[in-house]
Amino acid sequence: MKNKFLAILGVILLLGFTSCTKWIDPEINKDPDAVTEAPMPLLLSSVEVNLGYVLGGFDVAGITSMWMQQIKGTDRQARAIDGYNLTQTDVNNLWNDIYTGPMMDLKDIKTQAEELGHDNFYGVAEVLEALTLGTMTGLFGDLPYSDALNGYPPQYDSEQDIYTTIQNLLDDAISKLDPNGVQIDNDLVFGNDISMWIKLAYTLKARYALRISNVQAPNWNDIISWVDNGLQPGEAFAVPFGVNATENNPLYQYLTQRSGYSEDNATFQGFLAETTSGRWGAGNSDPRYGILYYGDDVVQGPFTKKDSPIYLVTGVEGQFIKAEAYYRSGDEPNARTILVGAVSAAMAMLDLNPDMTAYTAYVNGLTGNALLEEIITQKWAANFLNAENWADYRRTGFPTLTPTSGSELPHRYPYPTDEVSYNPNTPDYGTIFNPLWFEGVK
């Protein structure tokens, strides 16, 4: 696995991060003798590693986790962004890396898969495309998609249309993916297990239907069913990383290469250390206190070791989605039961097995908005360093946070400098405090 991983990273350096500074005609400057199309297995592993690096690195996981007060920026760029000073230049690399890397590679996989009649590769590409679009629209809102990657300044799809596209991609993927069909190869995450890709598709359907539930009311029973068919506790879309320098977890790299930039956040650590709520019994702090932490001394932490995987989607997240779905449908008893199970599963991810008696009693005393707050707050703790926490906050207002600057937290990323400069169709986003469409009315 390590040798394979190193080889893949080498190819990514050549193919995956060749960011351009503007939309260009793809026919210009083509070398007729050059190899222009990588095989699908190589493209698949490249996409997986790229998504782990980009979505699990500072530009996405780091920034959103600062704003969600799980970590704190203490110096230079990180300190400025922690105080909500995120500029167009700050997101240039993120935008370019996604469009010239995973988005282009996924388009190539789909083209090849369609030519070969390879439904499983096509379906896997659709699932990854849905995950990529879901993450990016949650950051920026409107995106180039239908008209993107054609070589000319593209039009933007509305945020609402992007979410429709995501569900269509996932539905088509589920219809195509077949564990008994022609198998895929070089899948670093699920080891070519198509049944796991089907589960991931269902979990993503639930995630993105819940995300837009303020503006498009879902069928809550559908969401519960999708969770039941999706990733289960102990299962995850987790991109692997290794102990060799070229294999390291991106947040580990950030911590070690930018010493002093970031550290633990007092808000998150205060939540874990709190002993008077009664959640874990009188005088007891959260069992995760001292385990979930971040900073220059955190190189042995569970999510930021050299070889820690990047968890982009987990079965534990699905259980919190299910708990909220029960709550929203008016079934608080089931919501409480599923919440306790979700918290227990989150502990198990960290090899913890605490006595749940006190916590169960605490949850059984919650109702109404207090129960919803506990669901979202515990999801925030379980989804440590995951950008989906910011989406949950913007649609629910939980967990309860005090802005580090001004009177509100940011609602969006700005469009990058390159996009504003070279694409005349780029929308006027206002400021990073302008809400996105999915947020609706809390």
Over 377-389, what HEC string results?
A: HHHHHHCCCCCHH
Burial of 80 (0-12, 13-18, 19+ CB in 10 A): middle
Alpha-helix runs per DSSP H in 141-249: 159-176, 194-211, 220-229
H helix count then E strand count, the chain: 18, 4
Question: Which of 163-177, 219-233, 260-274, 354-368 shows the lowest mean pLDDT across its residues?
Answer: 260-274
pLDDT digits (tens, 9 = 90+) for 209-246: 999 999 999 999 999 999 999 999 999 999 999 999 88
Read off the pLDDT of each residue in 400-412 and give the average, rounded to a whole number: 96
The pLDDT-based confidence of 256 (bands split at 50, 70, 90) is confident
Is 70 exceeded by the pLDDT of residue 56? yes
Question: Which of 32-41, 64-73, 89-98, 367-376 shows the lowest mean pLDDT across its residues?
Answer: 32-41
User: Could you tell me the pTM of the whole model?
Assistant: 0.92
Cα distances from 428 to residues 140, 156, 437, in angstroms, run 11, 12, 14
pLDDT at 155: 95
DSSP string, 309-356: -EEEEEHHHHHHHHHHHHHHTT-HHHHHHHHHHHHHHHHHHTT-----
The pLDDT-based confidence of 293 (bands split at 50, 70, 90) is confident
* C-alpha to C-alpha distance for 302 and 231, rounded to whole angstroms: 21
The pLDDT-based confidence of 20 (bands split at 50, 70, 90) is very low
Residue type, 175: S
Secondary structure (3-state) at 428: coil
Q: How far is CA 50 from the centre of its chain?
A: 13
Question: Which of 23-37, 274-288, 398-412 shows the lowest mean pLDDT across its residues?
Answer: 23-37
pLDDT at 23: 43
Is 80 exceeded by the pLDDT of residue 355? yes
pLDDT at 325: 98
pLDDT at 261: 79
Is 70 exceeded by the pLDDT of residue 18? no
Over the Cα atoms of the chain, what is R_g? 21
Read off the pLDDT of each residue in 282-288 and give the average, rounded to a whole number: 96
Name the strand (E) or helix (H) holding 239: strand 236-239
pLDDT at 11: 42
pLDDT at 296: 59
Average pLDDT, the chain: 91
pLDDT at 145: 97
Is 70 exceeded by the pLDDT of residue 6? no
Read off the pLDDT of each residue in 183-188 and give the average, rounded to a whole number: 98
Is 60 exceeded by the pLDDT of residue 289? yes
Architecture of domain 2-23+39-427: Alpha Horseshoe (1.25)
Read off the pLDDT of each residue in 5-31 and give the average, rounded to a whole number: 42
Q: For the chain, what are the domain ranges?
A: 2-23+39-427
In sign, the C-alpha dihedral spanning 229, 232, 235, 238 is positive
Establish how many alpha carbons lie within 13 A of residue 277's alpha carbon, considering only the half-sphere containing its beta carbon.
18
The pLDDT-based confidence of 152 (bands split at 50, 70, 90) is confident
pLDDT at 246: 87
pLDDT at 185: 97
Q: How far is CA 246 from the centre of its chain?
A: 23
Burial annotation 328-361 (CB, 10 A radius, 16+ → b, else e): bbeebebbbbbbbbbbbbbbebeeeebebeebbe
DSSP 8-class letter at 143 = B
